[in-house]
Amino acid sequence: MTDIGGRAWELVLRTIEADLLSGSLKPGDHLPPERTLAAELQVGRSSVREALRVLEALGLIRTQTGSGPGAGAIITAAPSGGLGTLMRLQVAATGFAVADIVKTRVLLETAVARELANAAPVPDLQASATLLDAMDELGLTPEEFLALDAAFHVSLADASGNQVVAAIMSGLRTSIEGYVQAGVPSLPSWDATAEQLRGEHRAILRAVTGGDPDVAAARINSHITGYYTATSLPLHERN
Amino acid sequence: MTDIGGRAWELVLRTIEADLLSGSLKPGDHLPPERTLAAELQVGRSSVREALRVLEALGLIRTQTGSGPGAGAIITAAPSGGLGTLMRLQVAATGFAVADIVKTRVLLETAVARELANAAPVPDLQASATLLDAMDELGLTPEEFLALDAAFHVSLADASGNQVVAAIMSGLRTSIEGYVQAGVPSLPSWDATAEQLRGEHRAILRAVTGGDPDVAAARINSHITGYYTATSLPLHERN
């Protein structure tokens, strides 16, 4: 199969993908060593290594150095990390319109808020609450505050239990951080905005834990769109 | 920087990513040749090649063979392809619960239907209509039919103009194809189901072009959940 030349790495990638799809490779499993894969697929070791890099960048395997029994790549279950890498790169290359990110956030996050408020028993929101406590600390820069802010929103999606929405939100996290930080200079007072955001976050969490889906959804909607309006970003679509 | 050893490819990836983020690399631009990148970053050419494979698998660059002026990788704007690759692999490695895919579809696609029905002027739905015509052809296998079906749903998201939702739907396409095809054997009659799906698709498109957002959203909701119920897949969450 070496005659496909520069595409040999794709053969390796497709082979491993097929093994994942069929279930013969599962999270926790080790991949065969590079030289074994190269021999089995009749490609060069450099092609195997290229394919492994792709899988690693997607967060699907973790490679380890050394040659003991623990050497070789392990299949990991890290969808968010991989999606994060991808979306970060994508946004860089193609530039999602901020209006589209905001609209998609409202759509996904109001649904998350409703789901959490309706859930029985009350879902575990300790991770979200811990992030809000961290945002109460004095002396945070806007960058630090807004990174915690984006993490708070992702944590709600995680708590909702919908893996697909959680993966999407995790993938959008860097985009969210990007546009909210870009808006900071246009705020009249960062301290006043930070105080307002802290209050809105607590109010969202109260509505969720209080089991009020309509209020929770309305609060997260006005929280997201309010910041967007306050930072005077253009609300229309990009053409 | 060669002392970072096996992580040299990550340095290359981060460097190119930073150039994309800063805008100094844009879609259509050529990357410098491998040997130039290797010399500039003081890493081996194999590390450069590994990083390029990652970018290529993500759909962000297209590499070309040869050494003329057109040689070298070109930055492409192909978010869907990249996201598709990622999500396909992710689903293989981690297995999104079908119930989560269905819930996320309903959330995103009812919003898409509303947006399309509200849009003025009426959006261009030629791509969607062409797919429906293709699904009228006799002799399609269930696999062929359902691949066109998934493409129809992605085409509506594309037409809505929300790039983020379109990228997400494109990324979910293989997952969607996967679960709808897995349901075929449990249908009493494929021919009857295909006929019903054809009618539902046309009715969705009529509501959208007729400018009726509520009907469009209700039809796409019952279309998605109806098939899911008919194929008797468990509607509860995966634990």
Nearest-CB residue to A86 (from B6, B83, B103) = B83
Run of H or E residues at B75: strand B74-75
Q: Which two tokens stand for residue B38?
A: 């290797």
As a three-state string, the secondary structure of B102-143 is HHHHHHHHHHHHHHHHHCCCCCCCHHHHHHHHHHCCCCCCHH
Among B16-25, B65-74, B188-197, the minimum mean pLDDT is found in B65-74
CA distance A55 to B57: 9
Q: Is B237 helix (H, G, I), strand (E, B) or coil?
A: coil
Q: Could you tell me how many CB contacts below 8 A there are between chain A and chain B?
A: 136
The closest CB to that of B53, out of A53, A97, A161, belongs to A53
pLDDT band for A109, please (50, 70, 90 cuts). Answer: very high
List the structure tokens of B85: 């690759």
pLDDT at B235 over 50: no
Check CB contact under 8 Å for B88 and A17. yes
Q: What is the CA radius of gyration of chain B?
A: 22
Convert the pLDDT of each residue in B5-33 to its tens digit.
Answer: 447 888 898 888 778 767 788 777 888 88
Q: If DSSP codes are grouped into helix, strand and coil, which group holds residue B170?
A: helix
pLDDT digits (tens, 9 = 90+) for A190-212: 999 999 999 999 999 999 999 99
**pLDDT confidence of A8, banded at 50, 70, 90?**
confident
Q: Check CB contact under 8 Å for B60 and A104.
A: no
> Contact A17/B89, CB-based, under 8 Å?
yes
Rounded Cα–Cα distance for residues B207 and A167 (Å)? 31
Task: Quote the mean pLDDT of chain B.
Answer: 83
**What percent of chain A clears pLDDT 70, i.e. is strictly above it?**
81
Give yes or no for A15 touching B (CB within 8 A).
no
pLDDT tens for each residue of A110-154: 999 999 999 998 899 999 999 999 999 888 899 889 988 998 999
Spell out which residues of chain A touch residue B83, defining contact as CB-CB under 8 Å: 86-87, 90
In 10 A of CB A104, how many CB atoms? 23
Query: Which residues in chain A (161-200) have CB-CB distances under 8 A to chain B?
Result: 161-165, 167-168, 172
3-state SS class at A188: coil
Residues 6+ apart with CB under 8 A from B21: A92
Residue the block writes with tokens 């009350």: A122
Interface test with B, best of A9, A67, A164 (most B CBs within 10 A): A164
**How far is the CA of A189 from the CAs of A134, A140, A183, A194, A198, in angstroms?**
21, 15, 12, 9, 14
| A76 touching chain B per CB within 8 A | yes
Q: What percent of chain A has pLDDT over 90?
A: 44
Given a cut of 70, is residue B239 above it in pLDDT?
no
Q: What is the mean pLDDT of residues B102-108?
A: 96
| Per-residue confidence (pLDDT) for residue A68, from 0 to 100 | 58
Is pLDDT above 70 for B234?
no
Measure the CA–CA gap between B24 and B15, rounded to whole angstroms: 11
Interchain CB distance below 8 Å, A100 and B21? no
What is the β-pairing status of strands A61-62 and B74-75? Answer: unpaired
Q: Are B107 and A107 inside 8 Å of each other by CB? A: yes
pTM, to two decimals: 0.73
CB–CB contact A90 B83 (8 Å): yes
Residues of B in contact with A12 (CB under 8 A): none
In A214-233, the residues whose Cβ lies within 8 Å of chain B are none
* B60–A237 C-beta distance less than 8 A: no
> A30 forms bridges with which residues in the sheet?
A74
Average pLDDT of A30-41? 92
pLDDT for the residue B2 = 37
Say yes or no: A239 contacts chain B, CB-CB below 8 A: no
Let me know the angle formed at the C-alpha of A160 by A159 and A166, rounded to the nearest 5 degrees.
85
- Kindly report which listed range (A200-214, B11-25, B149-163, B188-202) carries the lowest average pLDDT score: B11-25
Give the one of B94, B162, B172 whose C-beta lies nearest to A104's C-beta: B162
Yes or no, beta carbons of B101 and A46 under 8 Å apart = no
**Do residues A28 and A74 lie in contact, with contact meaning Cβ atoms separated by under 8 Å?**
yes
10 Å Cβ neighbour count for B142? 18
Name the A residues in 129-158 with CB < 8 Å from any B CB. none
Q: State the average pLDDT over residues B200-212.
A: 97
Q: State which residue of chain B sits closest to A64, comparing Cα positions.
A: B6
* CA neighbor of B7 nearest in space, from A9, A171, A57: A57
User: Considering only CB atoms, which chain B residues are within 8 Å of A50?
Assistant: 49-50, 53
> Rounded to whole angstroms, how far apart are CA atoms A31 and A54?
14
A6 to chain B: closest CA residue:
B65
Q: Looking at residue A113, what is its pLDDT?
A: 98
Rounded distance between C-alpha atoms, residue B168 and residue B160, angstroms: 13
State which amino acid sits at residue A165.
Answer: V
Contacts of A94 in chain B (CB under 8 A): 27, 77, 79, 163
Cα–Cα distances in angstroms (integers) from residue A52 to residues A15, A210, B46, in the given order: 12, 47, 13
Residue B27: its chain A contacts at CB < 8 A?
93-94
Which residue in chain B has the smallest CA separation from A102? B164
Q: Which of A50, A79, A83 sits opposite B49 (nearest CB)?
A: A50
Task: Give B 107-126 residues with CB within 8 A of chain A.
Answer: 107-108, 111
CA distances from A82 to A148, B88, B213 (A): 20, 12, 35
Q: How far is CA B94 from CA A21, A75, A82, A137, B134, in A?
A: 10, 10, 12, 36, 33
The dihedral region occupied by B44, where left means phi > 0, alpha psi between -120 and 50, and beta the remainder, is beta
Kindly report the nearest CA distance between residue A164 and chain B, in angstroms: 6
Q: How far is B108 from chain A (nearest CA, A)?
A: 8
